[in-house]
Structure 1
């Protein structure tokens, strides 16, 4: 099916999403410091894009230069298009920073003092700061045959210094390198009395530029410029050879910072011959070099909103609501016994999930807790609760996904801490990342005068991560439905033990039933449409790439099924193509919160089936991960999911971008009535 139907390119789609993120920085309806934050988010996203996607493309071109991408283009052609578009995006990003955001910040009393504008008093203050706070921790490296070019760490801030003169040993000095330790602040606050602005700052790069000669005494500094190298950050773990995944990962993690270079960022003023040297040392081509008008790492500007007490320039803080059924109850298990509980983050609090686990940790009737962990952060009250439960004698089993990208080290540390208090820690199934979000609690209850075991579950679309639960939109559901809970038990059984596939009654599970059940649901809608019956599909996700699912959607569209897709990020399906996908619309929502829930709606002959899931519609989610999709059976909760998770976003005319058949996006313009889904949900829950 993948060869029969047109697909759009994944890498270009990722860059398109980041263009939509960057557009928020130009939106005057967004508070000023949040506009800066969107510029920083774009930089962070691009870092990962180069570390993973671009690095992977470069490897593919080296190993198999004639290969084609899934959309049918040659890999070389894709790479050329991606490089051109990435350069354009970076240029737009820095132009927006310099021409729009910086001037607007200055008008609000937030100013970055450049070296060229320093007064004598400011220079004296900066010199003292450099001498006391920077000089003791900086290590200059002079380049000569005994000091070859250092292998600088991935994404570290470095300075290349052009020198003239002879050193104390009579050696001719030409070039030096200084790496700025990650612990050094990139933004230094200047005293208000000196600055003349309520919030004056100096960049670390400005301090280096002005006083770097102190690191190379008696030499002439001809130039000093920032540079930053991005490296391939994929970890290589041979799944056929490893005997202990954790030990294997611990051996690989240090090498992540020293992988092959994929990108060089330099300040725009860097002399061409110095850029040439940096490219040669990094084994990069000219087009891998990005000359930027500003700091080479905009991600570090993300701290500015926290350093400036200007609430009027930030989003109005929101206090997530607690459902009344929970707020007025002292026992979470009693609440869940009365019916399923739906939580919509970040509009509703994540605290009830933590409270459920904390009560389970202390409840003498609870005998076992099982939990999956993909991302949870370095300071996690949820992990503390799991460890407390283990200390209290509960049978605690935690499936920790050690291969969660960029969270490997954090998860290794949590695994060690859990084991230290007696919890059972397993790493799932090698070759299939555990991305499912599940908690299972087994508790003794009195029923009919007898004590028996009863299961309670929490299932979600997002991570057990209290911080991101305030930033990402996700649904979570607590249930005592014993059929659902038994399915969750079976999934845990597969993750922790060894045995054949177990039949599930309510859940769809990857890599077994999720893909075939989804295909069957799509085909059922197509059959109904061909029979003249009402048919409808609405789905919301982060990414849509899997070719056979896309083919099934094309066929459903041809059969007359009306299909609305809300895909935040990359989408390989081409909507609105005559005789192929004219019944399909694709929109992307970019706003204050990161849209993260996965929701699948099928009219199903009037039954209106709704599933929530941890899985996007991608090859990896269907075939190389452990994922679950779970039904929303309660009619009242189903209506909530449809209203809050789908209809609100289909009606959004402020944050929505409509995808065109060529893959480009056009921002939806509001009519007389402006509708913003996220703002509407904030008003509903948090006002």
Structure 2
């Protein structure tokens, strides 16, 4: 009889080298996004889109993550992450990695994408390439569109250095000579008007251009900068852009009205502390040093770029170019049967639970669920959480219609959803004007749960219909992100959702829930318990396995628990799209753990947790990742998929993610990712497979 192996306690895995730094892991994800722009198997205009996404991601990384690191470094804060690096050490490593990443972005643009686009007659014309007709049209554009709204500022004691808006396009101009007042001015700043497009499409009929000839606004300003300083010699003109700290700070304990407080903080985001300076690659050192001094930045914060400083503005080209052959093939999501025109959506849910996997399944049933509730005379109340939903949302339209129809509509609006604060303030005001009850969650906690409750009077009494999801009620991103959504009228599940809404609105304590595992109260302990149970089952020779899919894995106790389970013999497969601080494949620690990231046409966003349970397996869907913030500082839901057809479907789809050998990246113990290869196996891309039909 074999002895039961000793299972190390999670505390045995405290060594800093067992953890990957979260900031560097996030940069590795952005590199995987950028690789999509390099991959010639991706349609050309989609490659351009991935380049723009990588640029936008990097902007947000500096605005939030680097800004936070700089604040910690200034305060000499001790290390707080499990890898035990100090903020200054992380900043140095981040600077080195981001400089490499930025160089790769511009090499991709200049050496790969621009030549490939030009071969398809989509051209970005440099000034030396302008034909006479094009130059004449651009001269008129400057005179009629630019000159009336541009304000060049010569720098002297009466004209101090202007405030530079976050991520705006600007130019530093090197001047010689004297102005009309006899003043000798060495430098000037030109700020590009925010209202004008950064990429200008030339009209073919007027300019002898091809169908898709473009000119950068920066080229037009460069061409005419001398006209802005008559009687002076503009010896050089160099674009630059500053990135600022964009995190909002609101002391929720001290404010009386959270909406007004957040609203008041938004303008300050444009002028937060500087964290990065981007300048043209040919900008003289004396000018870049001058700018660094103005923005209180160091050489490590300087990024010299060979191309437009705002690459993400190239996204407008995708809408301007009508070339379906250079984009992903059109895709129409499946419309589930519960959406039949004559059908009763509530009757369909009464018959059986319904599971949708977006974007493969249409998001329309979610909108119709709320819209039809607003029209149904038997519906008494609608309650919903909104984290991100977009400025023009069919979901909000349905809620407004329901409120105007006299339903009791309660909406928990999370005002602090980063970079969506202004949109959420506007929709909160709109809902309130329609007669909905609006609350802003719980002080100190973001409401990140995705849930809808509809209370309907039926012959046997009041029935709770619920929708629980892993992603936001955002019709646009529902076509771009993968997410699960569950419809049910299970009494226990409905009562749990009812209890959670009571907690969010009345702030009373939930007595106990039968189905939902909620954060910040129970989710962390429950996940640790389930991982430990798998370790015990493995040690006892029972079925033991963990498959977990999420966006980020950061929380140290969960990682240590996974290490302990691995040492106990549990086979663990993790599908982690972005940040992963766990090191797989470390001898004696994580030999039984494999980590993969899927990067493809759609942004992977589902959170799915599967535990073998010693022969009584469980699958949970969740709004939460395994991060400190989700476990401890957010209101989250984690809910089961009961055994049956829906359970089997999720299990099959998880297996497809583990079999993907086309869009998967495999994490090594050294923290680097390598692309999976089909080898002798049939090529499998899970997203393409799910577009064909459910798993």
Is 1:435 the counterpart of 2:448 in the alignment? yes
User: Are 1:629 and 2:642 matched, yes or no?
Assistant: no
Equivalent in the alignment of 1:670:
678
Structure 1 CA distance, aligned partners of 2:404 and 2:419?
29
2:554 to 517, 529, 545: 545
Equivalent residues in 2 for 1:328-343 (5 A)?
329-343=342-356
Unpaired runs of at least 5, structure 2: 1-9
Give, in angstroms, the shift of residue 329 of structure 1.
5.0
Task: Say if 2:546 and 2:572, in contact at 8 Å, map to a contact too.
Answer: yes
The answer for the alignment partner of 1:20 in structure 2 is 32
State the distance in 2 between where 1:428 and 1:66 align.
Answer: 32
Partner SS state of residue 122, structure 1 = helix
1:399-449: CA deviation from partner (whole Å, max 9, x where unpaired): 0000100011111111111111111000010111000000000011113xx
Written as runs of structure 1 = structure 2, the 5 A alignment for 1:23-422 is: 23-64=35-76, 66-67=78-79, 69-192=81-204, 194-327=207-340, 329-422=342-435
Q: Does the 8 A contact of 2:359 with 2:479 survive in 1?
A: yes
1:324 deviates by 2.6
Distance 1:328 1:390, change over 3 A: closer
Q: State which drifts further: 536-545 or 61-70.
A: 61-70
| SS of residue paired to 2:147 | helix
Which is worse superposed, 417-426 or 175-184? 175-184
> For each residue in 1:261-318, what CA deviation from the matched residue of structure 2 results, as whole angstroms up to 9, or x when unmatched?
0000011111211111111000000110100010000111011111001000000110
Please say if residues 176 and 184 of structure 2, whose CA atoms lie closer than 8 Å, have aligned partners that are also in contact.
Answer: yes
CA distance in 1, matches of 2:683, 2:79: 47
Residue 14 of structure 2 is aligned with which of 4, 8, 19? 4
SS in 2 for 1:462: coil
The alignment covers a number of residue pairs equal to 681
Check whether the contact 1:326–1:335 (CA below 8 A) recurs between aligned residues: no
Work out whether residues 649 and 694 of structure 2, in 8 Å CA contact, stay in contact via their aligned partners in 1.
no
**Any idea what the Cα deviations from partners look like across 1:324-378, whole Å, max 9, x if unmatched?**
3433652110100001000110011000000111100111111100000000001
Task: For 2:563 and 2:130, locate their aligned partners in 1 and report how far apart those are by CA, in whole Å.
Answer: 62
Counterpart Cα distance in 2 of 1:134 and 1:480: 59
The farther-off stretch of 198-207 and 75-84 is 75-84
Aligned partner of residue 136 in structure 1, secondary structure: coil
**Structure 1 position 195, deviation (Å):** 5.0
In 2, Cα distance between equivalents of 1:68 and 1:411: 32
Q: Return the offset for 1:158.
A: 0.9
Distance 1:19 1:651 in 2: 22
What is the Cα deviation at residue 67 of structure 1? 3.8
Taking the TM superposition and a 5 Å limit, the aligned residue runs for 1:569-648 are 569-644=578-653, 646-648=654-656
TM-score (norm 1): 0.97
**Conserved 8 A contact 2:390-2:423:** yes
Deviations 1:185-221 (A, max 9, x none): 1111113353543310111010010012222222211
**Counterpart contact for 1:375–1:404, Cα < 8 Å:** yes
Contact 1:515/1:622 (8 A) holds in 2: yes
Q: Given that residues 159 and 179 in structure 1 are in contact (C-alpha distance below 8 angstroms), is that contact kept between their aligned partners in structure 2?
A: yes
> Partners in 1 of 2:79 and 2:39 — Cα distance?
40
Deviates more, 1:230-239 or 1:158-167: 158-167
**Alpha-carbon distance in 2 for matches of 1:68, 1:331:** 53
**Secondary structure of 2:459's aligned partner:** strand
Matched, 1:563 2:576: no
1:685 Cα deviation (Å)? 6.1
User: C-alpha offsets along residues 59-103 of structure 1, whole Å, 9 cap, x if unaligned?
Assistant: 000002554543022322221111001000000010011000100
Answer yes or no: is the 8 Å Cα contact 1:575–1:586 preserved in 2. yes
- Residue in 1 aligned with 2:5? none
Deviation at 1:139, TM superposition (A): 1.4
Please give the alpha-carbon distance, in whole angstroms, between the structure 1 residues aligned to 2:192 and 2:491.
56
1:472 match: 481
CA contact (8 A) 1:566 1:588 kept: yes
Which deviates more from structure 2 when the two are superposed, residues 30-39 or residues 161-170? 161-170
Distance 2:586 2:619 in 1: 27
CA–CA separation in structure 2 for the residues paired with 1:362 and 1:295: 51
Q: Separation in 1 of the partners of 2:630 and 2:507?
A: 21
Aligned mates of 1:422, 1:325 — CA distance in 2: 30
- Contact conserved, 2:468 with 2:487, CA < 8 A, in 1? yes
Task: Deviation per CA, 1:457-498: give whole Å up to 9, x if none.
Answer: 000000000000000000001100010010000011110002
Moved more, 397-406 or 195-204: 195-204
Structure 1 unaligned segments of length 5 or more: list them: none
Matches of 1:325 and 1:434, distance apart in 2: 29
Contact 2:171 2:237 in 1 (8 A): yes
Residue from 512, 522, 526 that aligns with 2:531:
522
Q: Which residue of 1 aligns with 2:7?
A: none
